[in-house]
C-alpha cells in the first residue's frame, strides 16, 4: 500500500506492508519533505502548491526504491480538507499511479487519518469504538467521538486559534525561542524547581456569565492578549526565575482551560459517553507530560485507559493516511472514483457525503 499526504506544507509518502489482515501493517518507508516557510512568515498557498509539484515525484521515487520496488496493491491519498493546490499535488499523482498500476485508490479525509492511526498499532483492535480523541496540535484543538470508521462527531472545537499556536505565541512573548516553542517552554519549566512567584492574571475563556452559559468550545486567543497585559516592565528586566514562573502559569492556565471544557462537555453529554472507555490524546501538544498528568487525574474517573500514540504518528504523516485508507477499504469496502477532485472544506461529519465514493459492499 502506498500513501501520499500533501494537504498542508509536508510532502509525505509512505509504503506499508499489509501481509495479512490479522496483523498490523509494517511501515517499510516513510519520507517527509517540509516546505521551508521560515523566511515567508507563514505558509503561502502558491508556494506550497509548487513545493508539492516539485517534491511528489522524487519523494515517491525514493520511497519505492528504498522499499525495494514492491508491487503496490492499493494507493491512498489525502483528498481534503485543505488547500486545493496542495491537495491536487498529491491527489493527481496518486490517480496516475493507480491508473498505471491498475490498482484501486482511496481518497482519505485528513482528520480521519489522525483519528484512526492509534488503532493501527493494534491492527484495528484498540482503541475500540466508541472512543474519544483529543487532538491538540499547532493547527487543531478538537474533541471527537468516534463510533465507527465512518461515524465521527465533533464534541468540542476551538473558536479561534489552536492550543499549540497559542502556547507558541505566548512562549515567544516571554522570550522562548526554537522550532517548537511550546516544547521548549515545557523543558524550560522543568529545568529547575519554581523558586519565585510572579503573580499573573490569566483568563479561563468562555466561562459562564449572565449572557452566556455552558459554551461547549475552546478559545485560546485571549491568553495572548491577557499575557501582554501582565508585563509591568520590559521583558529584559525579569530574571530567569521570574520568566520560569510566567511560563509555568501560562502552561497551567491553558491546560486548565482544556480540562474545564472537557469536564463540561462530558457533564452535558453523558449519554454520548456511555460505552466509551478509551481517551486518545494526540497531536504535538499531546507530548506534554503536564497535560497528560492533568487529564489522567482530572478525567481518570471517566475513562479506563488513556492512549498516547507515538509522536511521529501524531504529527502530519502519510502512514496515518495509509492506515485510514486500509480501514475504509477493508472494513467498509470503499474506494474512490478517478473523477474525484480535492475537497477544500469537508466536515468530518459528512465523510461519505462528497461525490465519487465507490462502495463495493
319 binds, options Zn ion, ligand AMP, none, Cβ within 5 to 8 A by partner type: none
Nearest residue to Zn ion, scored by beta-carbon proximity? 316
Binding partner of residue 182 among ligand AMP, Zn ion, none, CB under 5 to 8 Å per kind? Answer: ligand AMP
Among 276, 307, 314, 324, binds ligand AMP (CB under 6 A): 314
Residue ranges of alpha helices (H) inside 153-239 are 163-173, 181-190, 221-229
CB-CB contact of 319 with 3 (8 Å): yes
Binding of ligand AMP by 9 (CB under 6 A) = no
Does residue number 173 form part of the binding site for ligand AMP (CB under 6 A)? no
> Under the criterion CB under 6 A, does residue 164 sit at the interface with ligand AMP?
yes
H-helix or E-strand containing 11? Answer: strand 10-17
Residue selected from 76, 106, 280, 287 as contacting ligand AMP according to rule CB under 6 A? 287
* SS3 category, 167: helix
Q: Which stretch binds ligand AMP (CB under 6 A): 142-150, 178-186, 203-211, 295-303?
A: 178-186
d(CA 247, CA 58): 42
Q: Name the residue nearer to Zn ion (CB basis): 136 or 181.
A: 136
Q: Rounded to 5 degrees, what are φ and ψ at 212?
A: -155, 115
Rounded Cα gap, residues 48 and 46, in angstroms: 5
Residue nearest to ligand AMP (CB): 284
Whole-number Cα distances in Å, 177 to 91, 113, 150, 185: 36, 30, 40, 9
111 is an interface residue for ligand AMP by CB under 6 A: no
Asked if residue 316 binds Zn ion (CB under 5 A), the reply is: yes
One symbol per residue from 124 to 153: x for binding ligand AMP (CB under 6 A), - otherwise; what is it?
-------------xxx--------------
Rounded to an integer, what distance in angstroms lies between the CA atom of residue 236 and that of residue 230?
14
Would you call 133 helix, strand, or coil by DSSP? strand
- Kindly state whether residue 283 participates in binding ligand AMP, applying the rule CB under 6 A: yes
Coil vs helix vs strand at 109: strand
Q: Give the interface with ligand AMP as residue ranges (CB under 6 A).
A: 137-139, 164, 167-168, 180-183, 186, 283-285, 287-288, 314-315
Amino acid at each position: 500500500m502506498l500513501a501520499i499526504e500533501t494537504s498542508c506544507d509536508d510532502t509525505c509518502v509512505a509504503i506499508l506492508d499489509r501481509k495479512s489482515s490479522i496483523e498490523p501493517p509494517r511501515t517499510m518507508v516513510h519520507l517527509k519533505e517540509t516546505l521551508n516557510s521560515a523566511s515567508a512568515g507563514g505558509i503561502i498557498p502558491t508556494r506550497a502548491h509548487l513545493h508539492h509539484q516539485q517534491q511528489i515525484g522524487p519523494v515517491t521515487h525514493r520511497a519505492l526504491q528504498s522499499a525495494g520496488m514492491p508491487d503496490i496493491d492499493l494507493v491512498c491519498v489525502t483528498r481534503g480538507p485543505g488547500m486545493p493546490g496542495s491537495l491536487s499535488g498529491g491527489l493527481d499523482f496518486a490517480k496516475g499511479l493507480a491508473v498505471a498500476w491498475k490498482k484501486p485508490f482511496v481518497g482519505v479525509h485528513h482528520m480521519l487519518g489522525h483519528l484512526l492511526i492509534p488503532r493501527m498499532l493494534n491492527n484495528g483492535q484498540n482503541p475500540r469504538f466508541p472512543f474519544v480523541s483529543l487532538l491538540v496540535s499547532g493547527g487543531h484543538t478538537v474533541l471527537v467521538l468516534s463510533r465507527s470508521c465512518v461515524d465521527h462527531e465533533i464534541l468540542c472545537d476551538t473558536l479561534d486559534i489552536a492550543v499549540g499556536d497559542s502556547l507558541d505565541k505566548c512562549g515567544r512573548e516571554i522570550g522562548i525561542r526554537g522550532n517548537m516553542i511550546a516544547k521548549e517552554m515545557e523543558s524550560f519549566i522543568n529545568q529547575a524547581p519554581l523558586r519565585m512567584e510572579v503573580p499573573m492574571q490569566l483568563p479561563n475563556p468562555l466561562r459562564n456569565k449572565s449572557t452566556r452559559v455552558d459554551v461547549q468550545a475552546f478559545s485560546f486567543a485571549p491568553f495572548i492578549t491577557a499575557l501582554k497585559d501582565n508585563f509591568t516592565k520590559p521583558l529584559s528586566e525579569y530574571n530567569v526565575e521570574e520568566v520560569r514562573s510566567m511560563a509555568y502559569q501560562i502552561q497551567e492556565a491553558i491546560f486548565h482551560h482544556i480540562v474545564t471544557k472537557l469536564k463540561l462537555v462530558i457533564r452535558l453529554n453523558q449519554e454520548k459517553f456511555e460505552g466509551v472507555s478509551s481517551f486518545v490524546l494526540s497531536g504535538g501538544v499531546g507530548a506534554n507530560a503536564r497535560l497528560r498528568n492533568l487529564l489522567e487525574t482530572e478525567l481518570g474517573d471517566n475513562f479506563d485507559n488513556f492512549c498516547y500514540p507515538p509522536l511521529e504518528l501524531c504529527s502530519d504523516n502519510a502512514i496515518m493516511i495509509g492506515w485510514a485508507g486500509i480501514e475504509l477499504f477493508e472494513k467498509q469496502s470503499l474506494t474512490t472514483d478517478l473523477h474525484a477532485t480535492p475537497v477544500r472544506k469537508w466536515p468530518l461529519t459528512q465523510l461519505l457525503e462528497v461525490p465519487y465514493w465507490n462502495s463495493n459492499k
